[in-house]
C-alpha cells in the first residue's frame, strides 16, 4: 500500500510539473509596450477601414508604368513557362513603358485604356495585365485579389496577425505617423507581412510596404497615398517587385507606377444607399482590346515620367534582344524538345474571331485519380467562332478513359449561343454514359440484400451500354430565372457477356434493346443574382440566396422505336455561403423519383449520378457528389434523397500540424454527404481535402449504416484547367 501511495505521489508531482511547464508554454509572454501600442493603433485603423473603403465613388487618372523583367535562372523548362507565367523567354532582359487612361467606378469597376507603349521589346497582353492585377486593390478592404489574401485591416485581423509599433515619425507638416510592423501568426499564402504607416488621429494609411505570395510569385508592394484629404484613399506612387520560381527557373519583374488624377468624386457622408440593389457588376476589371500605339518619341516619354531613367535602364532600353535563328534552333535535341512540347502542352490558338484550345495529346495535367475508379485521362477540344453582338458557335468534344474499368467515355457536341445577353444557348450533344441495368433487376437486388453476403459482382448487373443524343435549349426569362427544355433519345444495348452465367432469365433480358424518347422541362432560379456583362454576354457571379432547380422528364413511347413510358421528377437546392476572410459553407439538398412506371426503365437521374473524372474545386460538383459509392447503386432505386455539406477555410489542419507547409496550401475542406434510398437507407461519406494553384486532393471514408464501407482518394490537377 505504501509503495502504491509513493507511486501516486510521484505521478501527482510529475503531473503538476508537466502542467506548470505546459502553462508556461501556452501562456502568452508579457507583451512589450510596442506590441500593446501596435494593437491599440490597429484597432482604430480597423474601426475606420469600413468607411474609408467606400469613400471614393469614381475617379479618372493617367497612369504611367515602367516595367522591367529579367530571367535570373533558366533551364529547358523555360520553353513551357509562358503557359503559366507572364514571361517572354526571347527577351531575358526587358524594359518597357506604358501610359494608361484609367477609370474607376465603385465598388470595384476598373477600365484601363492604354494610350502608348515603348521599350526594347513590346510586352504581350499577359505582361500588360500583370501590373494591373496587383495594383487594382483597395488597401482598406478586408481581402484583396478575389479573396486570395486577408488584409491586416480586416475586422478579425488580430486572429491572423501580430502588430508591433516600430517607430513614430514627425513630418515637417507637423503630422505624426506610426510605423506598424505586422507579421502573420502562421505561414500561409492567404497572409502577408510588412509595414503600415498610419496617420495619427485620422487613422488613415499613409504608406504600405507588404510582402506576400500569390499564385507562383513572391511579391513586394510599396504604395504611398496622398496626404491631402482629397487624395488620402488614392495611391500616388506604387512600386511592385515580383519573383517567380518554378521548376528551377527564376524570373524577376519590377514595376514603377505614378498616378495623375484628372477627376475624383467622393461619396457624401449623408449618402443613403439605394433601396433597390444593383445586381449588375459589369466592368469589374476591363482592359481595352485596341491596338496600343508604339511611340518612340523621347520627349513624349520624358514628359510622362515622374523620375528619369537610370543609367542601367538607358543601357537596357537600347539593347536589342537576341532572337534565335532557325539554324541555332536545329539539331536532334531541339527538334525532340519541340515535338515533346507540341504533344504535352495545352494548345491555345487565336485568329481574329476564332479561338481553339486543345488539352494536348500527352498532357500529364489531364490525368486524375480516384480510389473508386483508379487513374483517369481526359482529352478536351474547344473551338469557338464569335459573330456580331458576341453570338458564338462552339464545338467542344471530350474523350476520357477510366483505366480501372477499362471504359471509354465520349461526348461530341456543339452550342449556338444565339442571345448572349439572355444566356440563350441551343446545344446538341451525342455521347455515352454509365453502363447500367434495368428496373426489372431491382426486385432481384432487393431479394439479394436480405443476404448479409450481398455483392454486386455476384449479380453481374452491368448489362447495358448507354448511348444518347440530346437537343437542349436554355434561356433566361428574367435575372436569376433560367428555363430549359430538351429532347433526348437514349439507346441501351447489351454489354459483353460475362464469363459468369447469370441464368436463363437474365440471358433473356440482355438480348433486348431499350430505346427511350424523353421530353424534359425544368428551371433554375437564384434570387438576388449578381452578374456582369462581358461585352454582350451575361455571366452570373454570386448571390446571397440559394439556387432552386426543378426538372420533369417524360418518356414518350412509339417514337423512333422507343418503348419507355414513365416520368422522372428531380429537385435540388444548393448554396455557397461566404463566412468572411476566404471561408465558405456549401450545401446541396436534392431528391428524385420515377413516376408512372408503365414500362421497363433505367434509373438515370440527372442530379444523382456517377462522376468518373475528378473536377476542379471551382466546380461545385467536386463537393456535391458521392465519391466512394459504387456505380451500380445509382441505378438501383427509383427514388433517392441526398445531402452534401462542405466547409472551406485556408486555416484548418495545416496551421496546427505543419505550419511551414501551410504556405503551400490555399484552402482546406471538410465534406459530409448523406444518402437515403429504400434499399440503402443510411449511407454516409466523410471527407477532407486541400489544394492550391497546382492540384487538389481529397480523401473520403464511406459508412453504410454507420459501419465502415471503404476508403479512397481523389486527385486532380488545377493547372491549365
Residue 72 contacts residue 250 (beta carbons within 8 Å): yes
Q: Name which of 431, 439, 502 is nearest 469 in CA terms.
A: 431
pLDDT at residue 639, rounded to an integer: 93
Would you report the helix, strand and coil content of the chain in percent, each value rounded to 5? 20, 45, 35
Dist CA 597 CA 443 (whole Å): 14
Taking the mean position of all CA atoms in its chain, how far away is CA 434? Answer: 28
Residue 669 contacts residue 633 (beta carbons within 8 Å): no
Residues 6+ apart with CB under 8 A from 681: 705
Dist CA 352 CA 381 (whole Å): 19
Dist CA 147 CA 164 (whole Å): 25
Grid cell for residue 28 = 502568452
Dist CA 363 CA 367 (whole Å): 8
Residues 6+ apart with CB under 8 A from 347: 356, 357, 358, 360
H or E segment to which residue 588 belongs:
strand 583-595
Give the position of cell 474547344.
382
Long-range CB pairs of 613-616, under 8 A, 24+ apart, other chains included: 613/368, 613/376, 613/378, 613/400, 614/368, 614/369, 614/370, 614/376, 614/714, 614/715, 614/716, 615/716, 616/696, 616/716, 616/718, 616/721
Angle at 712 between CA 708 and CA 714, to 5 degrees: 150
Grid cell for residue 229 = 484629404
Residue 219 contacts residue 252 (beta carbons within 8 Å): no
Grid cell for residue 676 = 437515403
Sign (positive/negative) of CA torsion 488, 396, 547, 692? positive
Dist CA 527 CA 543 (whole Å): 7
Dist CA 233 CA 55 (whole Å): 8
Phi-psi region of 152 (alpha: psi -120 to 50; beta: other; left: phi over 0): alpha
- SS3 at position 320: coil
pLDDT at residue 221, rounded to an integer: 94
Residue 623 contacts residue 644 (beta carbons within 8 Å): yes
Task: Give per-residue burial for 513-542: e unless 16+ CB within 10 Å, then b.
Answer: ebbbbbebebebbbeebbbbeeeebbebee
Dist CA 620 CA 630 (whole Å): 21
Residue 87 contacts residue 69 (beta carbons within 8 Å): yes
Give the position of cell 497546382.
694
Q: How many CA atoms lie within 13 A of 236 on its CB side?
A: 14
Dist CA 386 CA 612 (whole Å): 32
Dist CA 625 CA 673 (whole Å): 8
Q: Name which of 645, 646, 643, 642 is nearest 634 in CA terms.
A: 642
> Strand 217-225 to strand 109-119: parallel, antiparallel, or no bridges (unpaired)?
unpaired
Residue 535 contacts residue 528 (beta carbons within 8 Å): no
Q: How many CB atoms neighbour CB 626 within 10 A?
A: 23
- SS3 at position 51: helix
**Ranges of the chain with pLDDT below 50:** 1-30, 270-276, 285, 289, 322-329, 498-511, 620-622
Grid cell for residue 459 = 449479380
Dist CA 490 CA 599 (whole Å): 15
Q: How many CB atoms neighbour CB 129 within 10 A?
A: 15
Residue 489 contacts residue 560 (beta carbons within 8 Å): yes
Q: Name which of 240, 242, 300, 244 is nearest 97 in CA terms.
A: 300
Residues 6+ apart with CB under 8 A from 408: 399, 400, 401
Dist CA 242 CA 216 (whole Å): 10
Alpha helices, DSSP H only, in 208-331? 298-304, 311-317
Give the position of cell 487513374.
375
Grid cell for residue 15 = 503531473
Dist CA 623 CA 329 (whole Å): 47
Strand order in the sheet with 285-287: 161-170, 176-184, 193-199, 205-214, 217-225, 235-246, 249-266, 56-73, 93-105, 109-119, 285-287
Dist CA 40 CA 165 (whole Å): 10
HEC assignment per residue over 338-367? HHHHHHHCCEEEEECCEEEEECCCCCHHHE
State phi, psi for 66 to the nearest 5 degrees.
-115, 125
**211 beta partners:** 193, 220
Amino acid at each position: 500500500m505504501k509503495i502504491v501511495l509513493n507511486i501516486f505521489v510521484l505521478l501527482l508531482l510529475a503531473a503538476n510539473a508537466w502542467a506548470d511547464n505546459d502553462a508556461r508554454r501556452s501562456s502568452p509572454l508579457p507583451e512589450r509596450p510596442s506590441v500593446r501600442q501596435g494593437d491599440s493603433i490597429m484597432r482604430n485603423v480597423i474601426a475606420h477601414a469600413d468607411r474609408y473603403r467606400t469613400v471614393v465613388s469614381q475617379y479618372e487618372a493617367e497612369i504611367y508604368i515602367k516595367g522591367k523583367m529579367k530571367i535570373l535562372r533558366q533551364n529547358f523548362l523555360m520553353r513551357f513557362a509562358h503557359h503559366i507565367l507572364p514571361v517572354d523567354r526571347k527577351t531575358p532582359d526587358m524594359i518597357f513603358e506604358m501610359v494608361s487612361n484609367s477609370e474607376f467606378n465603385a465598388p470595384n469597376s476598373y477600365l484601363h485604356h492604354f494610350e502608348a507603349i515603348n521599350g526594347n521589346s513590346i510586352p504581350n497582353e499577359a505582361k500588360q495585365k500583370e501590373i494591373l492585377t496587383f495594383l487594382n486593390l483597395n488597401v482598406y478592404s478586408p481581402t484583396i485579389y478575389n479573396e486570395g489574401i486577408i488584409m491586416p485591416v480586416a475586422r478579425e485581423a488580430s486572429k491572423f496577425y501580430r502588430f508591433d509599433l516600430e517607430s513614430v515619425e514627425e513630418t515637417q507638416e507637423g503630422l505624426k505617423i506610426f510605423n506598424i510592423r505586422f507579421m502573420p501568426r502562421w505561414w500561409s499564402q492567404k497572409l502577408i507581412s510588412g509595414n503600415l504607416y498610419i496617420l495619427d488621429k485620422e487613422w488613415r494609411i499613409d504608406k504600405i510596404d507588404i510582402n506576400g505570395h500569390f499564385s507562383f510569385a513572391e511579391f513586394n508592394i510599396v504604395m504611398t497615398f496622398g496626404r491631402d484629404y482629397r487624395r488620402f484613399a488614392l495611391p500616388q506612387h506604387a512600386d511592385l517587385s515580383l519573383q517567380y520560381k518554378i521548376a528551377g527557373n527564376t524570373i524577376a519583374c519590377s514595376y514603377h507606377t505614378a498616378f495623375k488624377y484628372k477627376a475624383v468624386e467622393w461619396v457624401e457622408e449623408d449618402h443613403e444607399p439605394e433601396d433597390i440593389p444593383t445586381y449588375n457588376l459589369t466592368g469589374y476589371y476591363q482592359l481595352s482590346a485596341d491596338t496600343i500605339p508604339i511611340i518612340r518619341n523621347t520627349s513624349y516619354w520624358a514628359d510622362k515620367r515622374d523620375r528619369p531613367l537610370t543609367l542601367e535602364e538607358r543601357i537596357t532600353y537600347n539593347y536589342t534582344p537576341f532572337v534565335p535563328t532557325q539554324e541555332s534552333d536545329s539539331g536532334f535535341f531541339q527538334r525532340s524538345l519541340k515535338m515533346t512540347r507540341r504533344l504535352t502542352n495545352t494548345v491555345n490558338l487565336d485568329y481574329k474571331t476564332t479561338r481553339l484550345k486543345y488539352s494536348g495529346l500527352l498532357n500529364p495535367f489531364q490525368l486524375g485519380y480516384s480510389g473508386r475508379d483508379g487513374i483517369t485521362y481526359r482529352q478536351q477540344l474547344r473551338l469557338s467562332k464569335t459573330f456580331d453582338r458576341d453570338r458564338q458557335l462552339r464545338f467542344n468534344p471530350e474523350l476520357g478513359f477510366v483505366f480501372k474499368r477499362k471504359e471509354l467515355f465520349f461526348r461530341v457536341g456543339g452550342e449556338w449561343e444565339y442571345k448572349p445577353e439572355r444566356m440563350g444557348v441551343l446545344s446538341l450533344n451525342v455521347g455515352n454514359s454509365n453502363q447500367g441495368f434495368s428496373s426489372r433487376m431491382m426486385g432481384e437486388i432487393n431479394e439479394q440484400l436480405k443476404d448479409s453476403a450481398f455483392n454486386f459482382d455476384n449479380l453481374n448487373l452491368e448489362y447495358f451500354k448507354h448511348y444518347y443524343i440530346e437537343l437542349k435549349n436554355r434561356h433566361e426569362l428574367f435575372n436569376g430565372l433560367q428555363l430549359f427544355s430538351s429532347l433526348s433519345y437514349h439507346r441501351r444495348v447489351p454489354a459483353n457477356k460475362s464469363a459468369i452465367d447469370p441464368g436463363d432469365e437474365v440471358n433473356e433480358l440482355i438480348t433486348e434493346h431499350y430505346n427511350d424518347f424523353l421530353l424534359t422541362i425544368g428551371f433554375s432560379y437564384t434570387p438576388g443574382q449578381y452578374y456582369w456583362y462581358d461585352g454582350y454576354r451575361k455571366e452570373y457571379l454570386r448571390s446571397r440566396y440559394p439556387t432552386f432547380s426543378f426538372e420533369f422528364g417524360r418518356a414518350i413511347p412509339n417514337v423512333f422505336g422507343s418503348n419507355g413510358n414513365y416520368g422522372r421528377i428531380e429537385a435540388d437546392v444548393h448554396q455557397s455561403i461566404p463566412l468572411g476572410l476566404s471561408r465558405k459553407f456549401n450545401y446541396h439538398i436534392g431528391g428524385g423519383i420515377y413516376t408512372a412506371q408503365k414500362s421497363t426503365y433505367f434509373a438515370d437521374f440527372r442530379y444523382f449520378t456517377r462522376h468518373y473524372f475528378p473536377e476542379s474545386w471551382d466546380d461545385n460538383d467536386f463537393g456535391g457528389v458521392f465519391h466512394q459509392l459504387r456505380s451500380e447503386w445509382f441505378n438501383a432505386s427509383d427514388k433517392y434523397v441526398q445531402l452534401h455539406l462542405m466547409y472551406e477555410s485556408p486555416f484548418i489542419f495545416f496551421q496546427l500540424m505543419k505550419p511551414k507547409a501551410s504556405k503551400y496550401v490555399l484552402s482546406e475542406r471538410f465534406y459530409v454527404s448523406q444518402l437515403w434510398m429504400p434499399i440503402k437507407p443510411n449511407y454516409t461519406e466523410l471527407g477532407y481535402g486541400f489544394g492550391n494553384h497546382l492540384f487538389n486532393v481529397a480523401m473520403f471514408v464511406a459508412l453504410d449504416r454507420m459501419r465502415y464501407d471503404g476508403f479512397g482518394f481523389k486527385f486532380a490537377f488545377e493547372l491549365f484547367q
